[in-house]
Amino acid sequence: MQRRNFLKAGGLALASTVVAKPAIAQPAPEIQWRLTSSFPKSLDVTYGGAEVFAKQVADLTDNRFKIQLFAAGEIVPGLQALDAASAGTVEMAHTVSYYYVGKDPTFAIASCVPFGLNARQQNAWLYQGGGNEALNEFYKAYNVYGLPLGNTGAQMGGWFRKEIKSVADLKGLKFRIAGLAGQVMTRLGVVPQQLAGGDIYPSLERGTIDAAEWIGPYDDEKLGFYKVAPYYYYPGWWEGGPSLHGFINLAKWNALPKSYQAAVINAANYATTWMQARYDVQNPAALKRLVAAGAQLRPFPIDTMEAAYKASMELYAEISAQNANFKKLIEMIMASRDDQYLWWQAAEYTFDSFMIRARNAK
């Protein structure tokens, strides 16, 4: 009798164990998203960053979470990518936050502002300085969750049909430039122009515009600007280290399993590193080719840099007086910038300056 009771009890325990197993081993869900990019496929580093990101997400989830990419114009125009994610037309957008300063100038701070942070400083602020958290509080009003997804490093100052010898030469200049940089340039007498990438070359060729900024040597070479605007200026003081962003519809983000959220975050981090490294490899060779083809490198005159810096600080003060979100975030990044340059002055800048001199002395 005792033996029968023991077997019954054991059988019940075994049955309980067998029933419980399927509940523990739930398979990960299969999810498919659509991502709209602000970039054409021909920009193989900026558009390519989203391709790297999507592949990483698939690899990290055993191909159960797939993200399908669409280039600018395939679903919505490039400058409407954020709106598509916000409205739920797509689950995600890959774009640059400063494209949307018309909605609120605070959008610029996520990517870059004139005389702001370089790429490493930008990443330090975003990942370790509270930047991502502060930005996502702001993005909630637009129904998206944002995360860094790429960085180009410092950009060039653009292509000019005539030489700029002082800040006075900027007056009346029709310059393809937008966002907060365009507002700063306006204060220096420039007439900002907003043109899509494909319209820049013919506009320079015809003289409809006098100058244009794009990204840097690798991308600029493809567009052939050196053929119609030979003076290539540096640095792009309005884009010292611009971040690209992935914007995810907030409801879709919140609905993701935690493991998939982690996959998205880690894939975005990987793509950010990949993009900057890719530009750092491609730009030197492209710059050599451009110079060999006739591009004339020029630094912006110091009076131009100083006038632009002064105008930028005045602009920030004016916007801050009317926009609490902008004020909070611009104060955050400027405090971070000033602290970081204490360190860079002692180590990074000193090392880089010596190495540049040593290289040139060979």
329-347 pLDDT, tens digit each = 999 999 999 999 999 999 9
What is the b/e burial string over 174-188, where b = at least 16 CB atoms within 10 angstroms of the residue's CB? bbbbbbbbbbbbeeb
CATH number of the domain that residue 94 is part of? 3.40.190.170
Asked if residue 338 is part of any domain, the answer here is: no
316-331 pLDDT, tens digit each = 999 999 999 999 999 9
Asked if residue 103 is part of any domain, the answer here is: yes
DSSP E strands in the chain: the ranges are 31-37, 65-70, 92-95, 144-151, 158-160, 174-176, 191-193, 211-212, 231-234, 243-249, 296-299
pLDDT of residue 25: 53
pLDDT of residue 170: 97
pLDDT greater than 50 at residue 282: yes
Asked if residue 17 is part of any domain, the answer here is: no
Asked if residue 345 is part of any domain, the answer here is: no
Asked if residue 56 is part of any domain, the answer here is: yes
Q: Which residues contact 331 (CB under 8 A, 6 or more apart)?
A: 320
pLDDT of residue 13: 46
Q: What is the pTM of this model?
A: 0.90
pLDDT of residue 3: 46
Count of domains in the chain?
A: 1
C-alpha atoms less than 13 angstroms from C-alpha of 258 in its C-beta half-sphere: 0
Asked if residue 189 is part of any domain, the answer here is: no
163-189 pLDDT, tens digit each = 999 999 999 999 999 889 999 999 999
How much of the chain exceeds pLDDT 90, in percent?
88
The range of the structural domain enclosing residue 263 comes to 31-150+241-281
Q: Cα(239)–Cα(361) distance, rounded to whole angstroms?
A: 30
Asked if residue 111 is part of any domain, the answer here is: yes
Asked if residue 1 is part of any domain, the answer here is: no
